């Protein structure tokens, strides 16, 4: 079965820097930091998947997510034999209280500066943040 991954970047303006939230993963892609994300359910749009995944993982209700980038996650393929294509969405509107809704999968959520990513970091997250910071839709292998 083939699956399409979806990753969500949440940026906010805070103290004159952009930041996003990450977790240290326990489940799949364990022992790596990552932005929230997951897989699309059959028949879901990217936006519907983002809304559902963010609610499931963080308890936040998000509004008007916008597709900003894609990535071809070759490091995941090399490490796990799974070939994922990720779609990144930018969120600027949300409500609710940030909570760790899946403690069996992650240690919790923390705000970080995207220019100072903690390591080790899940390759899809790195690629999405790189696209956002560079203003590009896709960063190929160079």
* Tens of pLDDT, residue by residue, the chain (142 residues): 566 666 655 444 333 345 666 777 777 667 888 888 888 888 889 999 989 988 998 999 989 988 988 888 888 778 878 777 888 888 888 899 889 999 998 888 888 888 888 898 888 888 888 888 899 999 766 5
Residue 86 CB neighbours (<10 A): 23
| Residue 141, domain member (yes or no) | no
| Residue 122, domain member (yes or no) | yes
Which structural domain, as residue segments, surrounds residue 113?
Answer: 5-134
Q: 47 CB contacts (<8 Å, ≥6 apart)?
A: 65, 67, 89
Q: How high is the pLDDT of residue 56?
A: 92
Q: What one-character DSSP code corresponds to residue 25? A: B
Number of compact structural domains in the chain: 1
Q: How high is the pLDDT of residue 100?
A: 92
pTM: 0.82
> Is 15 exposed, middle or buried (CB count within 10 Å of its CB: 0-12, 13-18, 19+)?
exposed
| Residue 142, domain member (yes or no) | no
DSSP string, 106-134: BS--EEE-TTS--SSB-HHHHHHHHHHHH
* CATH code of the domain covering residue 75: 3.90.79.10
Considering only CA atoms, which of 42, 49, 47, 61 is closest in space to residue 101? Answer: 61
| Residue 27, domain member (yes or no) | yes
| Residue 140, domain member (yes or no) | no
Is the separation of the CB atoms in 84 and 5 below 8 Å?
A: yes
């Amino acid at each position: 079965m083939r699956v399409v991954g979806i990753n969500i970047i949440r940026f906010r303006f805070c103290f004159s820097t952009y930041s996003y939230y990450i977790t240290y993963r326990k489940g799949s892609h364990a022992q790596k930091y990552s932005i929230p994300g997951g897989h699309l359910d059959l028949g879901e749009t990217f936006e519907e998947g983002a809304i559902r995944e963010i609610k499931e993982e963080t308890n936040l209700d998000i509004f008007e997510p916008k597709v900003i980038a894609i990535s071809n996650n070759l490091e995941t393929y090399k490490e796990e034999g799974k070939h994922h294509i990720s779609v990144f969405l930018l969120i600027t509107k949300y409500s609710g209280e940030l909570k760790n809704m899946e403690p069996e999968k992650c240690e919790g959520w923390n705000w970080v500066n995207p220019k100072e990513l903690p390591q080790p970091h899940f390759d899809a997250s790195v690629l999405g943040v790189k696209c956002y910071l560079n203003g590009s839709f896709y960063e190929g292998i160079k």
